[in-house]
Amino acid sequence: MLRVGLTGGLASGKSFVGQALADLGCHLIEADELGHQVLLPGAEVFDDVVNLFGDRILDQEGFIDRRKLAALVFDQPEMLEKLNRLVHPAVGARQRRMIEEIQRTDPDAIVVVAAAILVETGSYKRFDKLIVAVCSMEQQIERAMKRGPYTREEVLARLSRQLPLDEKVRVADYVIDTSGTKESTLEQVRGVYNSLRSLSA
């Protein structure tokens, strides 16, 4: 089995690349989706997060409102650190269980784990290969604002807290430039997939 990390920056095309790799036959695990799951009522860290931040982070149905939560930790590094100490181990445990299950049922699999902060945390070193999805900062801003609703200033503030893409590229085995057409991106993805498939054979 080949373990592949997939990362990028805000709105740099990581999700598109991940889905394209899944369409080609890779097993895709999205850390962001696991992050949603561990925060659901009754899940691993729901009670701990509510105890830490209070009922103000809950919506009318009693679910954690991730936007409210993000707003609370945005300018408070110590609270973000506390939140990460709760969420990251739970996400990591789910990820490991999923990888173990894939390894058991499909030993020749290519498993792609898509996560925003693989390089920042150093966890990219656990993977056999690392893919980084990149585009220009202006494209990141435009895409994030479209996906939003965020103002340009909010997007710039979020980007300023992320490791620059060129630093992530330094440790990448593959770089996929998503700034062109979808077909151009898909062509690069197919090339990377073929390379990974030859390694996992």
State the pLDDT at residue 193: 98
User: Is-above-0.85 flag for pTM?
Assistant: yes
Point out the domain boundary residue: 107, 139, 172: 107
Looking at the structure, tell me whether residues 157 and 182 fall in a common domain: yes
Domain with 66 in it: 31-107
Number of domains into which the chain is organized: 2
d(CA 79, CA 73): 6
The CA distance from 55 to 195, in Å, is 49
161: phi then psi, degrees, rounded to nearest 5: -95, 0
pLDDT at 74: 80
Residue 122 to residue 119: CA distance in whole angstroms: 5
Query: Exposed, middle or buried by CB within 10 Å (0-12, 13-18, 19+), for 198?
Result: exposed
32 φ, ψ to 5°?
Answer: -65, -40
Instruction: Pick the last residue of a domain from 58, 74, 107.
Output: 107
Quick one: 11 and 97 in the same domain? no
pLDDT tens for each residue of the chain, 201 residues long: 999 999 999 999 999 999 999 999 999 999 999 999 999 999 999 999 999 999 999 999 999 999 899 889 887 889 999 999 999 999 999 999 999 999 999 999 999 999 999 999 899 999 999 999 999 999 999 999 998 778 899 899 889 888 999 999 999 999 999 999 999 999 999 999 999 999 987
Rounded Cα distance between 143 and 13, Å, is 9
> Tell me, what's the pLDDT at 154?
87
Q: Could you tell me where the DSSP H helices lie in the chain?
A: 14-23, 31-38, 46-53, 66-73, 77-105, 118-121, 137-147, 152-160, 165-169, 182-200
Instruction: Point out which residues pair with 36 in neighbouring strands.
Output: none
Where is the domain boundary, 107, 128, 144? Answer: 107
CA atoms within 13 A on the CB side of 140: 23
Assign residue 70 the CATH number of its domain.
Answer: 3.40.50.300
